[in-house]
Structure 1
């Protein structure tokens, strides 16, 4: 017989799994509507943090440098990204989000961010601090599980 705490942990686990599924469905719908692959969406998401080098993008989305070059060429042709010289080191090329990426963020993701902020506003500061700890801990668990799965998959290849 499970305790109320064990039951709630199981319920939360299922809710988190459904949340991940809904997030994936939303992102896949964005991909279908805007004709963006998963790697392209990950690249654009990463660029929302600011300009990045192609090598940083390759590491983040786990593609080879050659594959990232091809991906950036496709995105650049569609005005999702542009390459520009790094003002601090003119030899270095930075990739920045361009007009189409900024429009996508504004039209699709900003309304969801606003709705999410409104939803979170109903919670107290202490509740939000707990949620922040939970999300950070859950991300750490998922990153560790992904690294272990990748290592196991690599060993089998």
Structure 2
């Protein structure tokens, strides 16, 4: 296979990979009775080691403050997030994942990590380094292209 053909195969495989991520996210959202934006917010809350302010969540989700408040309200009703007082600033409220959210993380997301680790176990250290480099480059390309599209809007 030529280099051009391989590049096309990689591009096609990336598109299919993105579709599989999308399908998983849709299945997770449906299983949790959340919409995709709420699922993204939950992921942000679970990913961090510390609670986020509503402003941080708003910026990460690229939502207005009012829309972010609605997301937080829905996550609270689902018992997946809670508002807590910032221990360093009494006037500031933070949003944190709940114990229920941590259970969801174990039920929904931990098996993906286990399966992924198992799938990667067959690669050498050098191959994993190449995969990691590729993923970083691919992410950078996607972020640049997202910026290009958002910058082009009137």
TM-score of the two chains, using structure 2 as the length reference: 0.93
**4+ runs deviating over 6 angstroms:** none
- Partner Cα separation in structure 2 for residue 105 and residue 130 of structure 1: 29
Structure 1 residues not aligned, in runs of 5+: none
Deviation at 1:100, TM superposition (A): 2.8
| Residue of structure 2 in register with 1:12 after alignment | 10
Greater length-normalized contact order (CA 8 Å, ≥ 6 residues apart)? 2
Structure 2 residues not aligned, in runs of 5+: none
- Partner Cα separation in structure 1 for residue 90 and residue 120 of structure 2: 43
| Residue of structure 2 in register with 1:78 after alignment | 78
| Residue of structure 1 in register with 2:29 after alignment | 31
| Residue of structure 2 in register with 1:136 after alignment | 136
Paired residues, what number? 152
- Partner Cα separation in structure 2 for residue 92 and residue 129 of structure 1: 42
Quick one: which of 33, 38, 41 aligns to 1:40?
38
| Residue of structure 1 in register with 2:62 after alignment | 62
Deviation at 1:34, TM superposition (A): 1.4
RMSD: 1.3
Residues 78 and 100 of structure 1 are in contact (CA less than 8 Å); yes or no, is this contact kept in structure 2?
no
* SS of equivalent residue, structure 2 residue 52: coil
TM-score of the two chains, using structure 1 as the length reference: 0.91
